[in-house]
Amino acid sequence: MELAPLMITLQTAGVATVATFFIGIGLALMVVRMNRFQGLADAVITLPLVLPPTVVGFFLLLLFGKRSTIGSFLLQFDITLVFTWKAAVMAAIVVSLPLMYRTARGAFEQIDVNIIHAARTLGVSDWRIFWHILLPNARAGILAGLVLSFTRALGEFGATIMFAGNIPGVTQTMSTAIYAAVQANDYDLAGQWAMIIVAFSLVFVVMMNWWINRQNKGAALWN
Amino acid sequence: MELSVDIEKKLRDFTLRADFAVKDEVFALLGASGCGKSMTLKCIAGIETPDKGRIVLNGRVLFDSEAGINLQPQARKAGYLFQNYALFPNMTIAENIAFVASGDNVEKERKVQANLARFKLTGLAQAYPHELSGGQQQRAAFARILAADAQLLLLDEPFSALDSYLKWQLEMELGDVLKEYDGAALLVSHDRGEVYRLADRIAVINRGQMEKVHSKHGLFQDPDTLAAALLTGCKNVSSIKRIAADRIFAEDWQMELQVAADIPAAAQFAGIRAHYIEVKTQVGENTVLVEVVSVVEDVFSYLVMVRKKDAGACPLRLELSKAEWLQLGNPKELYLHLPKERIMLLNP
């Protein structure tokens, strides 16, 4: 069994999750603080969660394809995205972002707004409030978002195959490898990859639950 | 410590207008919930922005709509005591204080220790906020405000969520803090007893409109508006018609009454506190025959609702000690005397 799909999947999901972490938290803070168009912004960011991944992949193709404005601009610097590893990472980011964004936003909204007001009237800068008050008090939610986005990125299929293709050794992840194996009538190989994905996802979700339970024990005492 | 406020802000149902000055004293804003009194505090602290006006604290302009000045809450040095104290839940009490104290580490540690000692919290330095009682949390919140070098205390309904026993304890502690704190403090409350016990001067806010500033004794003895009378606990009010220079007809009570002085031109209501109404045995000046509508036994007194007989009048509330009421023998009718010097004439 070739191990490349496993390595590519882990790398893609890992890099995508790091990006999703920062972008998702940033977007969550931005939307929480919006006075107008909050609903619209929320809908746009959440859309990849409810759209068929093939639609997301199709839009990514349109947006970053060689004939698009962005694609032809990048081509001047000899950068192509479509059917590369970078494209697989981008697809994973877009698809997993709503999960990070929504859980982070929920966690931030749980924080008593008076605590933030109090910190500001006591002279604490917004930057210190973010690192020392918002993040620590939202960590259970943020961690849940992190695990959910990572497992979502692990299993990403539709957008990846549209935008990054299914090139063995380059963009073939575990889930696209299963598709290729089934098409080649190799059910044993497909089954092995399926088991590995199930095992990975299970381990991560169990770890998340364990962590959140531990956090909640602390949190319950806070009240 | 000197604060002057003159601001205007459009709220959903009315426009808030606050105009007052506070100097080295405890100043209270008394108003019903939703009247704009908390909003006033939030505008001073910088959590909310007024539409126009000017706020000056110790000569520093915090807000001036004409000059385009609107300092961040961080730069205002106005300590805001929240109803729920808003301690940082992820930090110990010592960390809560150190987090907001300025200066280098030595200076921070000095401020932490000094304020812990000042509020008798030294033994709780390593405890988390959830491990503290309500009173301890309030003291910790004060310690944190003073460690941040606040020049002004803003107290937003400090006791509204507490049961009466705890409330009294915390009020006494707050009284001690205020006595020791030589700056100015602004207290916002809907509880007349609270503001009477804690504040030096009081202003009533009614649907965003700030009324005349009173000394606390003046406000309770001689409220000049209907809102002030109701907020200071007056239970009996009636609209009036002027009959003579010193005689009124109280429309709600259907009674013609003599008053002690000439009626002010703007007066449209009369009020009398329930414990000033007397029971007599015969007709006389300001004395009318009334029927008893209902009797409610309170903790230490009887609350008796009475109204003028056969006149379709609104009832008055009368408060009598238990002994006094039982001595009357639970009558169906009685003569009610409204002493003329106790009748308050009120502007709308």
Q: Does B129 lie in the same domain as B21? A: yes
Of the residues B157, B192, B223, the one at which a domain ends:
B223
Residue B189 in any domain: the answer is yes
Q: Does B274 lie in the same domain as B197? A: no
Q: Does B219 lie in the same domain as B239? A: no
Q: Return the pLDDT at B275.
A: 86
CB A91 within 8 A of CB A160: yes
pLDDT tens-place string over residues B114-138: 999 988 899 999 999 999 988 889 8
The pLDDT > 90 percentage for chain A reads 74
Q: Return the pLDDT at A223.
A: 43
User: Across chain A, what does the average pLDDT equal?
Assistant: 90
The pLDDT > 70 percentage for chain A reads 96
Of the residues B164, B189, B223, the one at which a domain ends:
B223
Question: For chain B, first and last CA: distance in Å?
Answer: 34
> Is the predicted pLDDT of residue B325 greater than 90, yes or no?
no
* Chain A contact set for B74 (CB, 8 A): 120-121, 123-125
Q: Does B245 lie in the same domain as B163? A: no
Q: Torsion angle of alpha carbons B139, B140, B143, B145, nearest 10°?
A: -100
Residue A18, domain CATH = 1.10.3720.10
CB B241 within 8 A of CB B263: no
* Chain A contact set for B102 (CB, 8 A): 123
Residue B207 in any domain: the answer is yes
Residue B292, domain CATH = 2.40.50.100
Residue B89, domain CATH = 3.40.50.300
Q: Return the pLDDT at B161.
A: 65
Q: Does B37 lie in the same domain as B156? A: yes
Q: Does B243 lie in the same domain as B94? A: no
Residue B105 in any domain: the answer is yes
* Chain B contact set for A136 (CB, 8 A): 90
Long-range contacts (CB closer than 8 Å, 24 or more residues apart) made by A27-30: A27/A97, A27/A101, A28/A100, A28/A101, A28/A102, A28/A104, A28/A105, A28/A108, A29/A108, A29/A130, A29/A134
Contact with chain B for residue A117, Cβ under 8 A: yes
Global ipTM: 0.77
Q: Does B206 lie in the same domain as B339? A: no
Residues 9-68, chain B, touching A (beta carbon < 8 A): 45-47
Q: Does B124 lie in the same domain as B57? A: yes
Specify the number of domains making up chain A: 1
Spatial distance between the Cα atoms of B290 and B307, rounded to a whole number of angstroms: 5
Q: Does B116 lie in the same domain as B248? A: no
Which band of pLDDT confidence, cut at 50, 70 and 90, is reported for residue B269?
very high
Q: Does B289 lie in the same domain as B186? A: no
Q: Return the pLDDT at A121.
A: 95
Spatial distance between the Cα atoms of B119 and B143, rounded to a whole number of angstroms: 7
Q: Helix, strand, or coil here: A222?
A: helix
**CA of B148 vs chain A CAs: smallest distance (Å):** 6
pLDDT tens-place string over residues A33-76: 888 899 999 999 999 999 999 999 999 999 998 888 888 888 88
pLDDT tens-place string over residues B122-180: 999 999 999 998 888 988 998 999 899 888 999 998 887 677 777 888 888 888 888 87
Residue A129's domain comprises 4-222
pLDDT tens-place string over residues A148-172: 999 999 989 999 999 999 999 999 9
Specify the number of domains making up chain B: 2
Indicate the helix (H) or strand (E) that contains B235: none
User: Across chain B, what does the average pLDDT equal?
Assistant: 89
Of the residues B201, B223, B245, the one at which a domain ends:
B223
Contact with chain A for residue B71, Cβ under 8 A: no
Which band of pLDDT confidence, cut at 50, 70 and 90, is reported for residue A133?
very high
Q: Does B282 lie in the same domain as B139? A: no
CB neighbours of A156 closer than 8 A, spacing ≥ 6?
Answer: A12, A13, A53, A91, A92, A95, A96, A173, A175
Residue B150 in any domain: the answer is yes
Residue B107 in any domain: the answer is yes
Residue B274 in any domain: the answer is yes
Residue B167's domain comprises 2-223
Average pLDDT over residues A88-98: 95
Among B80, B84, B130, the residue with its CB nearest the CB of A121 is B80
Spatial distance between the Cα atoms of B283 and B120, rounded to a whole number of angstroms: 61
Q: Does B253 lie in the same domain as B155? A: no
Residue B229 in any domain: the answer is no
**CA of A119 vs chain B CAs: smallest distance (Å):** 8
